[in-house]
């Protein structure tokens, strides 16, 4: 007996298509995808406008005038960040202590580098060899890790230039003259870092580092810049002192108000307790009188009967 030809067409399955009911291929369980909240990504360097790139380059010690296109600025910033990340943190802290810059102890390497870039002093007395190497690298000077201190100092001073050195000596003479006129004391003290940025309010406050003398400020910023900076610091100190006095006065007033409220609360509680005692004694007396009256009435009724 011959079998009849089948009229059912042969079905071919495409990859990823629905499986046939007659197929014996096991189906995998559907995978659950975790839905993550959308986050706004941080702006990359190539997305910043050219003005912001120039400002950022100046903060990292780069000369934007030598880098015309934004692509060169971005490449130089990436290279400078990699250089800062590869530096020894202790060397950066040596420079901060030498220049007596007010920074917290837990500051990042980039924060330390941005503060070091602002240093214009050319007096390298007291700075360690590793600090000189780090300072030279941040000033874009080609140095070797094993260079001696005199060689590093010579390279740093060579970068300054003749006219810049002349202007610095002129500012130094002006600073010495002004310092002698006002009679400023140049006694130095041990450097101390500022409190950490995430420190608790109960943590002990560290003494801020000694501010730069008027001679150092004039030598670094010029006559008018140094005097203006000193006036600004004096004004800030005066304002902070007055704010501390106002805060202490407010605290005293609040303590006095709290004390008076406590006394008033204690008196109010004592009066209410006294009223409760009087009420209880009155209730007891009324109860006793009521019992005596009932007892007398009962005795009278018995006597009459």
The model's pLDDT over 128-146, given as tens digits with 9 standing for 90+, comes to: 889 899 988 888 888 888 8
Domain presence at residue 34 = no
Helix 50-59 vs helix 70-86: crossing angle, to nearest 10: 30
Q: Which of 300, 260, 104, 293 is nearest to 196 (CA)?
A: 104
Domain presence at residue 205 = no
- Supply the range of the domain harboring residue 173: 161-183+212-275
Q: What is the largest CA-CA distance in the chain?
A: 137
Q: How many domains does the chain have?
A: 1
Query: Kindly report the CA angle at 31 between 27 and 32, in degrees rounded to 5?
Result: 150
pLDDT at position 67: 75
Domain presence at residue 260 = yes
Domain presence at residue 57 = no
CA–CA distance, 77 with 70 (Å, rounded to integer): 10
CA–CA distance, 178 with 216 (Å, rounded to integer): 11
Domain presence at residue 225 = yes
Domain presence at residue 271 = yes
pLDDT at position 141: 86
Q: Which of 193, 233, 195 is nearest to 213 (CA)?
A: 233
pLDDT at position 257: 94
- Contact criterion met (CB below 8 Å) for 85 and 138: no
Low-confidence ranges of the chain (pLDDT < 50): 1-6, 8-9, 11-26, 28-29, 33-42, 199-209
Q: Where are the alpha helices (DSSP H) in the chain?
A: 50-59, 70-86, 89-99, 109-117, 129-138, 149-160, 162-182, 214-221, 223-304
Write out pLDDT tens, residues 84-104.
Answer: 999 888 989 888 888 877 788
N-terminal to C-terminal alpha carbon distance within the chain: 132
> What secondary structure letter does DSSP report for 211?
P
Domain presence at residue 292 = no
pLDDT at position 305: 76
CA–CA distance, 255 with 260 (Å, rounded to integer): 9
pLDDT at position 260: 93
Domain presence at residue 249 = yes
């Amino acid at each position: 007996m011959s079998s009849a030809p089948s009229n059912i067409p042969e079905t071919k399955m495409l990859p990823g298509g629905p499986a046939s009911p007659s197929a014996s291929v096991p189906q995998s369980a559907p995978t659950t995808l975790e839905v993550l909240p959308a986050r706004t990504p941080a702006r990359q360097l190539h997305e910043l406008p050219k003005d912001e790139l120039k400002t950022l380059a100046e903060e990292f010690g780069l000369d934007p005038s030598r880098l015309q296109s934004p692509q060169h600025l971005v490449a130089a910033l990436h290279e400078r960040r990699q250089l800062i990340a590869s530096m020894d943190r202790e060397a950066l802290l040596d420079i901060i202590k030498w220049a007596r810059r007010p920074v917290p102890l837990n500051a990042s390497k980039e924060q330390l580098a941005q503060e070091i870039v602002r240093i214009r002093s050319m007096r390298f007395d007291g700075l360690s060899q590793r600090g000189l190497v780090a300072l030279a690298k941040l000033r874009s000077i080609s140095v070797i890790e094993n260079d001696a201190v005199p060689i590093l100092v010579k390279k740093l001073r060579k970068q300054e230039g003749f006219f810049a050195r002349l202007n610095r000596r002129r500012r130094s003479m002006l600073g010495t003259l002004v310092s002698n006129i006002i009679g400023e004391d140049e006694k130095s003290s041990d450097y101390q870092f500022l409190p950490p940025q995430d420190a608790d309010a109960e943590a002990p406050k560290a003494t801020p580092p000694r501010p730069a003398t008027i001679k150092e400020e004039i030598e670094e910023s010029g006559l008018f810049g140094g005097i203006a900076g000193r006036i600004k610091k004096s004004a800030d100190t005066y304002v902070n002192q007055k704010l501390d006095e106002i805060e202490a006065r407010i605290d005293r007033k609040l303590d006095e108000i709290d004390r008076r409220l406590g006394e008033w609360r204690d008196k109010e509680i004592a009066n209410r307790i006294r009223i409760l005692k009087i009420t209880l004694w009155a209730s007891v007396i009324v109860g006793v009188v009521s019992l005596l009256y009932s007892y007398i009435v009962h005795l009278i009724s018995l006597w009459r009967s």
